[in-house]
């Protein structure tokens, strides 16, 4: 959430930016496109398992041609672009009925959004820094309990190794 990002910045950086809207507005402007992206991403992830070799052919030998044809037809039907687009459109419609907070939490791919939108926005408003430096600074500046801080430090380490 943009307001959480604002709250994660130290007061000195908030003063540099001026007002919260200078940070949050660029993030909110791209929200609709990222929700669409999230709806497609969720739709495709849901179908990912079915897009691999069909279970019926992967797990054991199938020698009956009729059974092979049925498995392949079911597989093909599941990968039908019209069905996928229909599912995607429904998911996007559902997302549009959510609050912005719910959209950010449920439909935005956080790591991709951070890299593509948050880092460039922070770099435009403040000093140029790498993704890793922003992650480190934001996690250092958070006022959180020790157990949460340890968790965030671990996430940061994973992100840096990425």
Q: What is the pLDDT along the chain (162 residues), one digit of tens a residue?
A: 788 888 888 888 889 999 989 999 999 999 999 999 999 998 888 877 656 667 667 777 888 899 888 888 887 877 788 888 999 999 999 999 999 989 988 888 888 888 899 899 999 998 888 888 888 877 775 655 565 556 556 665 665 555
Distances (CA, A) of 72 to 40, 57, 147: 24, 9, 49
Do 125 and 16 contact (CB within 8 A), yes or no? yes
pLDDT of residue 96: 94
Contacts 24+ apart (CB under 8 A), 18-23: 22/125, 23/121, 23/122, 23/125
Query: If phi over 0 gives left and psi between -120 and 50 gives alpha, with beta otherwise, what is residue 15?
Result: alpha
């Amino acid at each position: 959430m943009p307001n959480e990002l604002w709250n994660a910045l130290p007061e000195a950086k908030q003063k540099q930016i001026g007002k919260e809207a200078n940070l949050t507005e660029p993030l909110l402007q791209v929200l609709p496109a990222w929700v669409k992206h999230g709806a497609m991403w969720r739709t495709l992830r849901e179908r990912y398992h079915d897009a691999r070799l069909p279970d019926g052919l992967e797990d054991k030998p199938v020698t009956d041609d009729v059974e092979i044809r049925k498995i392949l037809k079911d597989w093909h039907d599941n990968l039908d672009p019209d069905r996928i687009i229909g599912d995607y459109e429904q998911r996007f419609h559902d997302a549009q009925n959510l609050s912005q907070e719910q959209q950010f939490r449920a439909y935005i791919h956080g790591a991709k959004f951070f890299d593509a939108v948050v880092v460039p926005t922070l770099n435009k408003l403040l000093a140029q820094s790498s993704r890793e430096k922003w992650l480190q600074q934001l996690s250092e500046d958070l006022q959180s309990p020790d157990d949460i801080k340890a968790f965030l430090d671990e996430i940061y380490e994973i992100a840096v190794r990425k």
